[in-house]
Amino acid sequence: METANEELDNLWKTALAEIELEVSRANFATWFQNTLILDKEDGVIIVGVPNGFTKEWLSTKYNKFIIKVLRKISPEVKSVDYVISSQPSALLKKNKKREAEDVAAASKESQMEITEIYIDPEANLNPRYTFDNFIVGSFNELAYSAGIAITKNLGTAYNPLFVYGGVGLGKTHLLQAIGNEVKKNNREAKVQYITSEKFTLDFVNSVQNNTPNIFKEKYRKYDLLIVDDIQFFSRKEKTQEEFFHVFNAIYGKNKQIIFSSDRPPKQIEGLEERLRSRFESGMIVDINQPEFESRLAILKAKSELKGITLEMEILEYIASAISENIRELEGALNSIIGQIKMMGKVLTLNDVKEILKKNAKPKKIVSVNQLIKFVCDFYSIEERHLFEKTRRKDVVIPRQIAMYLLREDFNSSYPFIGQKFGGKDHTTVIHAYEKISLLLKSEGKIRDEVEQIRKIIYDSV
């Protein structure tokens, strides 16, 4: 007969097996490893977690999902509480083998970073880019879900898929992860990842060498064709014409096509209308800048993968200091880890601040008046209207976006922003910030407008 502890261990083990099927390997290792059920009383499950950050993340991001899984196993479960605990359990002992495997995998990845990576010459896929190490947050959740769906229903789910977003936000990782997953599920699948520049070069070479049939045959044979940075087709009329025929040939055979770009199809200048309509005929998803919580999750997962444990205040500082893209975030983390290994000591928060200060790019200075002018010019409204007491939507939204950008991009305080907008109460600014934050998650039009305004601001100073 099972003891109470064994019963709790088995309940959580069963739940974790279910959870692991629904979340990526990286997220599972980050948030669920080294957790256990400490107690169960009157339908309340007490889950022990290793630190405060895991406690907050599970209680805010995964709580409903965890309760749902536990109720499937034990219907009398009413709620779940999370407490910080280092108590060992039979479950954690059984996880030692898995932890050893993760350490080995991390060591292998670390070695791959400093040695030549094997790239599949046929598919042109980098084996490092997988769903297992792709961190999912609200900023990329839709794109990730679409990618997973495609791997399960190649050629029928979201065909074509058009992914767009700024530099360094993980588009290439996602696209190659899709290709790697398809190859893993079906070794015979013909997959090709290629940049738009490489496609153009291949086409030009085929013209120069008088080998158009070889070129056409090559690009019409794939079950999955992934074209990265499609915006570089802009104004290349002959390349666009040839790609139009490639698209029709592949799509006509119900084969999958995926594109990426730094902007949506309608904003790519110099693009033939017939090709633009092809890009827009499937599903269009965007990847935004990661919010603070996602940046923190990425840093935690990457540091653990590299076998380095950083204090939470250090991770939080890095996540706060670097907000533009994931590439810069990882670059900062690599600099800090490099210093730790070189100096052979634990770094303080002040040490980290100095490292980031030395490596940081000079900040572009934008005044409040400049930002307001950019926003007003974008929406074609007079600046004075932004300071008037009005509820007109054509004024309220631009005003709220200006407040949001001052807070999000330039770390201005709520009282300071309120003062600059005619002495408005700081609660009004908080409301504006929260309103735009919600709209960015639910309305693609607002997301596009905010990103366009950001581009105008950073390109103009």
**Domains of the chain and CATH, by start:** 4-96 (3.30.300.180), 141-287 (3.40.50.300), 292-359 (1.10.8.60), 368-460 (1.10.1750.10)
> C-alpha 111: how far from its chain's center?
24
Q: Distance between CA atoms of 317 and 322, rounded to whole angstroms?
A: 9
CA distances from 65 to 7, 16, 71, 240, 292 (A): 21, 11, 10, 46, 22
Select from 446, 421, 422 the least CA-distant residue to 435: 446
For residue 403, give both structure tokens. 């407040």
| From 4-8, 33-37, 368-372, 394-398, the region with the lowest mean pLDDT | 4-8
324 vs 37 pLDDT, higher one? 37
Res 275: pLDDT: 94
262-270's contacts with Cβ under 8 Å and 24+ in sequence apart are: 262/164, 262/165, 262/166, 262/167, 262/229, 262/231, 263/164, 263/231, 264/162, 264/164, 264/448, 265/162, 267/448, 267/452, 268/230, 268/231, 268/233, 268/234, 269/234, 269/235, 270/234, 270/235
Q: What is the DSSP string of 387-451?
A: GS----HHHHHHHHHHHHHHHHTT---HHHHHHHTTS--HHHHHHHHHHHHHHHHH-HHHHHHHH
Neighbours of 72 (CB within 10 A): 12
- Per-residue model confidence as pLDDT tens digits over 197-238: 889 989 999 999 999 999 999 999 999 999 999 988 988 999
Strands 161-165 and 191-195: unpaired
For the whole model, what pTM was predicted?
0.57
Residues 335/339/342/343 CA torsion (nearest 10 deg): 180
- Cβ-in-10-Å burial (0-12, 13-18, 19+) of 425 comes to exposed
Select from 225, 238, 228, 226 the least CA-distant residue to 270: 238
pLDDT band at 391 (very low <50, low <70, confident <90, very high): confident
Select from 222, 130, 135 the least CA-distant residue to 184: 130
Residue type, 158: Y
Average pLDDT over residues 334-344: 81
CB 366 within 8 A of CB 457: yes
Q: Distance between CA atoms of 173 and 186, rounded to whole angstroms?
A: 20
Strands 224-228 and 191-195: parallel
DSSP class of residue 253?
T
CB 328 within 8 A of CB 363: no
Q: Residue 265 pLDDT > 60, yes or no? A: yes
Res 93: pLDDT: 43
Res 121: pLDDT: 67
- Per-residue model confidence as pLDDT tens digits over 75-85: 889 999 988 87
CA distances from 106 to 29, 100, 164, 177, 307 (A): 12, 10, 30, 18, 7
Helix (H/G/I), strand (E/B), else coil: 192: strand
Share of the chain above pLDDT 70, in %: 87
What phi, psi does 48 have (nearest 5°)? -85, 135
- Per-residue model confidence as pLDDT tens digits over 95-139: 444 444 443 444 444 344 433 345 566 788 988 899 988 888 878
Strands 283-287 and 191-195: unpaired
- Per-residue model confidence as pLDDT tens digits over 352-371: 888 887 665 544 556 788 88
What strand order describes the sheet that includes 44-49? 36-41, 44-49, 79-84
For residue 441, give both structure tokens. 């998650």
